[in-house]
Amino acid sequence: MKSVDKYLFQALDNYPYWLEGTIESLDYALSYDDKNTTALCLYGRIHAEQLQDYEGAKNYFQQAISIDIHALEVYPHYIETLLLNEDFEEAQKLIDFAQTIKGVKKVEIKLKLVSLLERQLAFKKALKLLKKVKLELIVSEHNYQIEETEKRLKSKLETNSKKKKRK
C-alpha cells in the first residue's frame, strides 16, 4: 500500500466525524499525490457539506474531473453541490454527461435528476422518473430515499393541485 492510500483511508474514515483529522490526512495524501481525485473530491465535499462554500467545492470537483474524467466518486457530490448552489442548468448538463460514463452509479445520478426536477417544481416529471428508477434498482440501498421522495412528491403534487382548484 502506498503512503497516499494510507492517508486517504484515514481521511475517509475520519469524515465527517473528525474534521481536523480529515483535513490533516487529506493534506498528507495530497502532498504525496496532488492529483488524487478521491482526496480532491473529499475536499470538495468538506467545502460543500461543512462550510457551505459551494464555489470552493465546485473548484475541487472540477479539478478532480479535469485530472480523470472517470473519477466516478466525484459526480454525485458535484451534482448535489450544483443543486444546492442553484446552478440548475449546469447540474442538468453534468447529469446528462454523468449518465454516459461507464461504471457510474446510474440510479444515484437519476435520483439527482429527480431532485433537480423537484427543485424546478416539475413534480409530475419527477414522479414519473422516480417510478423508472424503481424499476432499475438492483440493490436496496436507495429504497428508503426513494420511498420518502415519492411521498414528498405526491404530497407536493396534491398541494399544488389544491391551489389550482382554489384559483
- Confidence band of 109 (pLDDT split at 50, 70, 90): very high
Clarify whether residues 91 and 132 are in a common domain.
Answer: no
**For position 14, what pLDDT does the model report?**
97
Clarify whether residues 82 and 54 are in a common domain.
Answer: yes
Domain extent at residue 163: 123-167
Prediction pTM value = 0.94
DSSP for 75-136, please give it.
Answer: HHHHHHHHHHTT-HHHHHHHHHHHTTSTTS-HHHHHHHHHHHHHHTT-HHHHHHHHHHHHHH
Q: How far apart are CA 14 and CA 22, in angstroms?
A: 5
What's the grid cell of residue 28? 498528507
> Is residue 116 included in any domain, yes or no?
no
Clarify whether residues 99 and 132 are in a common domain.
Answer: no
**For position 1, what pLDDT does the model report?**
66
- Identify the weakest region by mean pLDDT among 19-23, 90-94, 117-121, 162-166: 162-166
- Confidence band of 163 (pLDDT split at 50, 70, 90): confident
Planar angle of CA 97, 99, 44, nearest 5 degrees: 65
CATH label of the domain that carries residue 55: 1.25.40.10
pLDDT tens readout for residues 110-156: 999 999 999 999 999 999 999 999 999 888 889 999 999 999 999 99
> Is residue 117 included in any domain, yes or no?
no
Does the pLDDT value for residue 3 go beyond 90?
no
Q: How far is CA 7 from the centre of its chain?
A: 23
pLDDT tens readout for residues 82-105: 999 999 999 999 999 999 999 999
Clarify whether residues 85 and 128 are in a common domain.
Answer: no
Clarify whether residues 29 and 78 are in a common domain.
Answer: yes
Share of residues in the chain with pLDDT > 70 (%): 99
- Contact between 107 and 133 (Cβ < 8 Å): yes
Clarify whether residues 16 and 93 are in a common domain.
Answer: yes
